[in-house]
Amino acid sequence: MTRFEITILGCGSAMPTTLHNPSSQLVNVNEKLFMIDCGEGTQLQLRKYKTRINKLHSIFISHLHGDHVFGLPGLLATLSLLGRTGDLNIYAHKDMELFLDPFIKHFGNQFPYKINLTPLDPYQHQLIFENNSIRVFSFPLKHRIPTSGFLFEEKDRPRHIKREMIDFYNIPVCKINEIKKGGDYLTDDGKWIKNEILTTPAIPPRTYAYCSDTAYSPEIIPYIQHSDVLYHEATFAEAENLRAQETYHSTARQAAEIARSANVRKLIIGHFSSRYHELGELLDEAQAVFPETELADEGMTINL
């Protein structure tokens, strides 16, 4: 089975603390690394968790608040020091160019690699990346500035052909891929064998949804429905609901309500406010609504 796992590099919010790093995650799909957000200190987290930084394929930035982008300049410089030569793709709001341009103009002539910036439309649901294994979609979140969520969706895998059927019908190797894709098989004596006799269903494709930062927004449910894992910000406890509304963030209970309504399999809550030294209150509030909830933590790996 193709590897599909998420590593939490940072799950804190804007105010730096010694408990949590600012937002960043790595998504590993078939040994290609995709980064979501790049808060301050992200490259140190990559070192700490022994990540192969040169395997980094693309970076997806949800929005241009500092706790999601301040780690980028340092990371880009480190990639240069490591001798990276392959292009690096960054997907972000168009204003990312204003943030990166001065840095690139000052240091960019030293970079042995090219940075490709693809602007996101934070008000649309759109396919932004696709390869042989996955598709990545962006969709609008509800925050103080234009913000995008991301959905990583594994592509449909081929059906499993039964070994005994290959032997029984003497199926040649050249026909196996066609059968795995759903085709029937015509025997030498002119008999059609239905695909469902020859194969078993493929394992359903896996999906991972990332929603940070956002106010409570049921409008996102169609974009994340039935995800295997949903990461949703839970900056505050319900007692701070008014503060959550003012800052366009979510409470742990609201994150759980989204997970329940979207019928996801598992919820990971993160982006914790610096006011919480203990997170049990947030977990209890979320689990009361959606029992399959876990707290994010630095170094946590989620296997889909």
Q: Hey, where are the domains in the chain?
A: 4-157+203-303, 160-200
Question: Does the structure show a pLDDT above 90 at 200?
Answer: no
Question: Does the structure show a pLDDT above 70 at 108?
Answer: no
CA distance linking residue 30 with residue 27, whole number of Å: 10
Question: Does the structure show a pLDDT above 70 at 1?
Answer: no
Question: Does the structure show a pLDDT above 90 at 170?
Answer: no
Helical spans, DSSP H, in the chain? 42-48, 66-69, 72-81, 96-107, 163-169, 173-180, 195-198, 221-224, 241-247, 252-262, 280-289
CB atoms within 10 A of CB 44: 15
Overall average pLDDT of the 139-160 stretch: 94
Question: Does the structure show a pLDDT above 80 at 3?
Answer: yes
What fold is seen in the domain 4-157+203-303? Metallo-beta-lactamase; Chain A (3.60.15)
Residue 155, helix vs strand vs coil? coil
Closest C-alpha among 216, 283, 285 to residue 245: 216
pLDDT score, position 91? 98
Q: Is the peptide bond before 213 cis (omega within 30 degrees of 0)?
A: yes
Pairing label, strands 88-93, 56-60: parallel
Tens digit of pLDDT for each residue in 34-73? 999 999 999 999 999 998 888 899 999 999 999 999 999 9
Question: Does the structure show a pLDDT above 90 at 146?
Answer: yes
- The answer to whether residues 112 and 83 touch, using CB atoms and an 8 Å cutoff, is yes
pTM (2 decimals)? Answer: 0.90
Question: Does the structure show a pLDDT above 90 at 295?
Answer: yes
- Residues with a catalytic annotation lie at 67
CA distance linking residue 185 with residue 115, whole number of Å: 48
pLDDT score, position 94? 96
CA distance linking residue 277 with residue 274, whole number of Å: 7
> What are the start-end ranges of the E strands in 2-114?
4-10, 24-29, 32-38, 56-60, 88-93
Calculate helix-pair angle for 280-289, 252-262, nearest 10 degrees.
Answer: 30
- The answer to whether residues 115 and 128 touch, using CB atoms and an 8 Å cutoff, is no
